[in-house]
Amino acid sequence: MINRRHIRVKVMQSVYAMQQSHNDDIVKEEKFLKHSIQKMYDLYVLNLQLLVEVQKLANKRIALAKKKILATKEELNPNTKFIDNKLINLLNESVSLEGYLELNKLNYWELDDEYVKILLDELQKSDIYEKYMNTVEDSYNVDRAFVIDFFKEIVAPNEKLADYFEDKMITWVDDIPFVNTWIVKTLNKQSPKKPFILGSLYKDNQDKIFVSDLFTKTMLNQHKYEEDIIAKTPNWEADRIADIDMIIIKMAITEFLHFPSIPSRVSINEYIELAKDYSTNKSGYFINGVLDKLAKDYLSSNQMVKIGRGLL
């Protein structure tokens, strides 16, 4: 499922897009924001299905090799360890996964099966494949470890696949690292005794609401926030503050003033981490200093009121 850190990233990107395009249609941009998050779930599902499609192609190749007129002994009696992989078979048998693919018409690997071939070829040339196929032990744990290695070492780093995903959906380029981590966690957690069931996109309805509220409240109050920021940065003109830094600070202020259940220190730490990934090397220190001053002022003036978990 998507976590709050990635929600903040998606909101930050939407705020930045609106500012750069000088667009003031908040409703339209909010719809695109929600759409891009939903499409991230599509990316997650497509990666899971890709493992199944690679296995299916391997099975087809084995079947074709057996039909050769001059088939070798190895082709007539192939090693079926990969096509018998217990974890991938759980994915293949998943009604949940198949239903989502059909409902959302995600037939990418039927239309662009060259990527399935690329990954199978790379897999079969790899050391992890050779080691796995020669492993005597037949267990779910061995199968799962292999699938995770296959994904981490061959699927996730594949540049052609990454370019393909970027061409399909521009926002996926920033989603790929998060989705890759999500995939590995999913594979690790899957039990051999239970069918594979797709989890929810959001942890709960509160996270879904958080997306809209964080975006709209930041956009609607950004000019007021800018005045507060300038007051705390007397040695800086507004245009000297990096665009991303300004957006990050405004989003944190939104959490200070409009999300009473989120502790101010949590908001500060989250946005410092965002700055490390999306802004300059020194941005974290600058943002930390500004937010710390603003939090103290908002608290003393009773503008920032925290309740429940927000008091921690």
Does 312 or 150 have the greater pLDDT score?
Answer: 150
pLDDT on residue 203: 92
Question: What percentage of the chain reaches a pLDDT higher than 70?
Answer: 97
Reported as a pLDDT band with limits 50, 70 and 90, residue 233 is confident
Residue 280 has pLDDT above 90, yes or no: no
- Specify the pTM: 0.89
Residue 207 has pLDDT above 80, yes or no: yes
For Cα atoms 173, 178, 179, give the angle at the middle one, nearest 5 degrees. 85
- Whole-number Å distance between alpha carbons of 86 and 195: 11
| pLDDT tens, residue by residue, 90-120 | 999 999 999 999 999 999 999 999 999 999 9
pLDDT on residue 290: 93
Quote the tokens at residue 225.
Answer: 């926030």
pLDDT on residue 232: 86
Half-sphere exposure of 178 (CA within 13 A, CB side): 21
Nearest Cα to 90, choosing from 14, 189, 196? 196
Residue 237 has pLDDT above 70, yes or no: no
Give the chain's count of helices (H) and strands (E). Answer: 15, 0
Residues 6+ apart with CB under 8 A from 2: 37, 40, 41, 178, 201, 202, 203, 207
- Whole-number Å distance between alpha carbons of 267 and 261: 11
- Whole-number Å distance between alpha carbons of 270 and 44: 24
| pLDDT tens, residue by residue, 75-84 | 777 899 999 9
Rg for the chain (alpha carbons), in Å?
A: 24
Spatial contact of 287 and 275, defined as CB atoms under 8 Å apart: yes
pLDDT on residue 236: 65
Residue 312 has pLDDT above 70, yes or no: no
- Whole-number Å distance between alpha carbons of 43 and 113: 16
Residue 251 has pLDDT above 80, yes or no: yes
Q: Which CATH number fits domain 205-301: 1.10.10.10, 1.10.940.10, 1.10.530.10, 1.10.3720.10?
A: 1.10.940.10
- Delimit the domains of the chain by residue range: 4-189, 205-301
Name which of 36-40, 63-67, 116-120, 162-166 the model is least confident about.
63-67
pLDDT on residue 108: 96
| pLDDT tens, residue by residue, 127-184 | 999 999 999 999 999 999 999 999 999 999 999 999 999 999 988 998 999 999 999 9
- Whole-number Å distance between alpha carbons of 42 and 35: 11
Residue 72 has pLDDT above 90, yes or no: no
φ/ψ of 2, rounded to 5, equals -70, 140
Residue 73 has pLDDT above 80, yes or no: no
pLDDT on residue 191: 96
Residues 6+ apart with CB under 8 A from 152: 180, 184
Residue 309 has pLDDT above 90, yes or no: no
- The mean of the pLDDT values for the chain is 93
pLDDT on residue 308: 82
Q: How far is CA 104 from the centre of its chain?
A: 19
